[in-house]
A and B are shown apart, each in its own frame.
Chain A
């Protein structure tokens, strides 16, 4: 295995470089077509598209750096990140100008700010703290963010009465800053785990668990009689179809549910093999587990492809209403981001599996990474606190109560408690290193659930975001 890996390395390195080059060229070509078609160069969609390309390029270059250890990759990668950030800033300003208020009013606008903050913090981490490969983790997150934005409704809508408050801007900008800082602490703790020589197989188990979790969530929420329930989409008005106030109309895409079940089993397979390998103390199982990851990635890509083909502009019938209804990717952002996120997580694992033996040399030492994680949480935690406080004050003015146990509120409080737990364990119990890193990863998982999961899975007052 070890020898095979050593032989594999140069080829994977150069293959990746070629792939990255081709990918960027393709995206640039597409962008060129896009600009020619619209005739308007500096509009928001183009700026966003440009930042997507640059972020994708930066992510690929960071990955290339991780694999080849060639310093020039980083130079180009941070250049691409700068360019992406610039385009992103342009998109933000354009939006601001168009809407007449800072872009905090819808999930689309918040994602725009989140991605911006994340890219900015990536550059800070790279320039100030010298964590060069951090982009391999943060850039994919940014890419998923920008891709999601393409699907959400982008038209500038006037602010409903409850949102007309200065506190909206205070609350949301604090939230975005805090969440981006949490994302950074997550990326740093991943780096730490690599540097701390956590066994690759442990990551295998983690990745497998994460992906299986995504599919379990999708299945439990959307699977229906072997089909997959998605929200019906009204293409004309660019909005979800509602049966009655607050009740969305679901249509069922037949057979897609079974595919999801198969993929769910495939994502569980590496985990089961890992558990078996640890239990039987047999290395052979772990090698099989790695092969199972490949199978699961292929199946996941298949699931994504089928989902894209069938959910985009299809016509399906519903159990709750007569007739057929159209669907659109825009109506199922949760499923889509779940599928894409799962594939990304698995690809990151592949990067780890094929990593150079001297990847450790390229990172700051484990101790420094550990302290950096702590420092970013020291920034994130007060921001989270202020975000919740500003939200409470605003809720008191708009809804008549500073705390209503709305799901978003409750989950924000849970996030706060988890980071408070991290700080207590670290300060009073001296938790350092691996345990602290796992804690930080858990914290970020909860942050992401609060941001996306609550919006799409749990109903509540925070309907606009």
Chain B
């Protein structure tokens, strides 16, 4: 393969395909990926935490070398590519030999092979044909298919099983490359992002991890979201009803939950989080006329900016909702979007007098004119809105990854559990004495212990099949060298 190349490319090729290079590359991958688990990584870590953990100089160095985002730096990806190249080169380098071995099995062993084979036995016999047919019967009994090999100089038997085992390692390497391929495809053409939706709203914009926004060729609408909790208060299930809208038409609909995403045209939507939006949905109040405290209270429900008529003259409207209020310098501010310390601002208007009264809950001094209101209000319930947080991803390479995984499972089971076994039976004439012996040899590419056991059984079978008179008193068993 490499013979035709010039000396420099050849050297590169040899270095790349050597197992030493492979091991060095793997060690580098191990070191750097381990470093990535110890050093805090962007963008998952909060920038403030990064600054707290490292000195400015250190942080500058880490950022410069890419150690704060190891797995996405160019040099780490280049390293993974080098590993792939090394696997490819090593496989190509070794493949022709294995293929020769696979395509043209060695069926008729010569004298020198017979001399050095580790697992072998010789049995004295009287007749060539008698010995071979006995062996054939024994093979059949063992469930092996024997083949008669007729060569100008010799006449022998050959049997083998699971030749494909020799190719298994290439299956494993190919599967690894397939997984890498999937990863590369995803790194180049895949994307991941986040969508936050409240029930009833829809969007086509995805906020990507990088901070950019990506527009999908369709819109996603949320028709509802919710949470189920266990008796102890921990969350049991989060769900969202989603619909994909294309050209104003619903083209797909699904209720998703954690572990059960929705897929549309290769884009996957996962339930990732769930929470309160900090926006008010409805406020439930009991209303009583201020001048008639004995009157029956009436329950009303207010939505934002939607006036509700209380009598012919008066109406009430909710104009502000502050989820987490704080008063400072004569203004009401909100500290956060968490509904921690909520305040609502109602305006009670009279049409006749054109007078508007500001009602606040709670009564914030300086703002609330609750006492001037013709009605008293008693807040009962506050229904805030919920949002659903959706993880969105497009991973076109994942099919290569899953195919690779399945292929690897097959390859590994072939590598470890399927043994290529070969058996030869050759009648050998001794040139000096004229005696005939039946030479039986066997070889396996792994798990030699179990194979030797099987080989011994085969030999015993053959001895049993030989006619009694043909069996000589003495069988010669040459030394066996234990394999692996």
- The residues of A with any CB-CB pair to B shorter than 8 Å are 157-158, 160-162, 164-165, 367, 371, 374-375, 378-379, 381-382, 385-386, 389, 392-393, 396-403, 405, 407, 410-411, 413-414, 417-418, 420-421, 424-425, 428-429, 432, 454, 458, 460
Contacts and interface: CB of A to CB of B under 8 A. Distances in A.
B37 A398 contact: no
B132 interface: no
A460 B38 CA distance: 11
Interface of B: 19, 22-23, 26, 29-30, 33-34, 36-38, 41, 71, 183, 192, 230, 232, 234-238, 257-261, 268, 270-272, 391-393, 395, 398, 401-402, 405, 408-409, 412-413, 416, 447, 449, 482, 484
Contact of A405 (B71, B392, B447): B71
Residue from B22, B271, B416 with most neighbouring chain A CB atoms (10 Å): B416
B98 to A, nearest CB: 12
Contact of B259 (A165, A374, A379, A424): A165
A400 B272 contact: yes
A160 to B, nearest CB: 6
B19 A428 contact: yes
B412 A161 contact: no
A161 B229 CA distance: 10
Contacts of B405: 389, 392-393
A399 B416 contact: no
Given A378-B416, A382-B409, A161 B257 contact: yes
B36 A385 contact: no
B71 A371 contact: no
Query: A374, A375, A396, A413: which has the most chain B beta carbons within 10 Å?
Result: A396
A417 B447 CA distance: 23
Please name the 5 residue pairs, one residue from A and one from B, whose CB atoms are nearest each other, closest first.
A161-B258, A400-B391, A407-B37, A400-B270, A158-B230
A282 to B, nearest CB: 35
A396 B235 contact: no
Given A161-B235, A398-B270, A410-B34, A417 B26 contact: yes
A411 B34 contact: yes
Contacts of A165: 259
A104 to B, nearest CB: 15
14 contacts: A157-B232, A161-B258, A162-B259, A367-B482, A382-B412, A393-B405, A399-B391, A400-B272, A401-B395, A413-B33, A417-B29, A421-B26, A425-B19, A432-B484
A138 to B, nearest CB: 23
B234 A160 contact: yes
A400 B393 contact: yes
A316 B234 CA distance: 30
A382 B416 contact: yes
Contacts of A417: 26, 29-30
Given A417-B29, A421-B23, A161 B268 contact: no
Contacts of B260: 397
A162 B19 CA distance: 41
Given A158-B230, A161-B236, A420-B26, A411 B412 contact: no
A379 B238 CA distance: 39
Contacts of A397: 259-261, 270
A158 B395 CA distance: 32
Contact of B402 (A393, A411, A424, A428): A393
A236 B354 CA distance: 59
B30 A414 contact: yes
B257 A396 contact: no
A385 B34 contact: no
Contacts of A161: 235-238, 257-259, 271
Contacts of A381: 412, 416
Given A401-B393, A414-B34, A162 B26 contact: no
Contacts of B238: 161
Given A374-B484, A405-B36, A414-B34, 19 more contacts: A158-B234, A161-B259, A161-B271, A164-B237, A371-B449, A382-B413, A385-B412, A397-B260, A399-B270, A400-B272, A400-B391, A401-B192, A401-B393, A402-B395, A410-B36, A418-B30, A425-B23, A428-B19, A429-B19
Given A398-B270, A400-B270, A164 B258 contact: yes
B401 A402 contact: yes
Contacts of A411: 34, 37
Contacts of A429: 19
A162 B402 CA distance: 21
B236 A158 contact: yes
Given A389-B409, A410-B36, A371 B484 contact: yes
Contact of A385 (B268, B271, B408): B408
A398 B41 CA distance: 22
